[in-house]
């Protein structure tokens, strides 16, 4: 009977050890997945901000090209994490004295 009790205790220790190892692996995997998710989210936000900036600039340039407006203001990054809440004010101005090919000179300042 003493032999059977010692065998049960050895099996219990082994089972507890295996459960601890599996729990540690699961926790490590969960931690890595969470970090990857955060990195991906930050990358997506940067890509969205870049496309928002490009779209705002194209919109402003088209507005200058199609109308008689001399200057236009675009607020880049409004509501995007890492930017001021109101965005960065970018002034796009059509410069007088464009060349003879009817191409407008445009200057952007922020």
9: containing domain: 2-109
Q: For the chain, where are the alpha helices, taking DSSP H only?
A: 2-66
pLDDT for position 107: 62
Which residues, 6+ apart, have CB-to-CB distance to 61 below 8 Å? 92, 106
pLDDT tens for the chain, 110 residues: list them: 566 678 888 899 999 999 999 999 999 999 999 999 999 988 888 888 778 777 777 777 777 777 766 767 677 666 666 676 777 777 777 666 555 555 556 666 65
Q: How many domains does the chain have?
A: 1
pLDDT for position 1: 54
Q: How far is CA 105 from CA 35, 52, 67, 70, in A?
A: 46, 23, 15, 11
Q: Are 63 and 71 in contact (CB under 8 A)?
A: no
């Amino acid at each position: 009977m003493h032999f059977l009790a010692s065998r049960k205790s050895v099996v219990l220790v082994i089972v507890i050890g295996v459960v601890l190892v599996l729990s540690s692996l699961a926790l490590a995997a969960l931690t890595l997945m969470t970090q990857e998710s955060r990195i991906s989210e930050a990358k997506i936000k940067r890509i969205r901000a870049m496309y928002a900036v490009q779209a705002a600039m194209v919109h402003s340039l088209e507005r200058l090209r199609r109308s008689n407006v001399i200057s236009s203001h675009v607020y880049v990054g409004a509501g995007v994490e890492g930017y001021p809440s109101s965005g960065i004010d970018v002034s796009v101005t059509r410069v007088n004295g464009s060349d003879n090919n009817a191409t407008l000179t445009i200057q952007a300042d922020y």
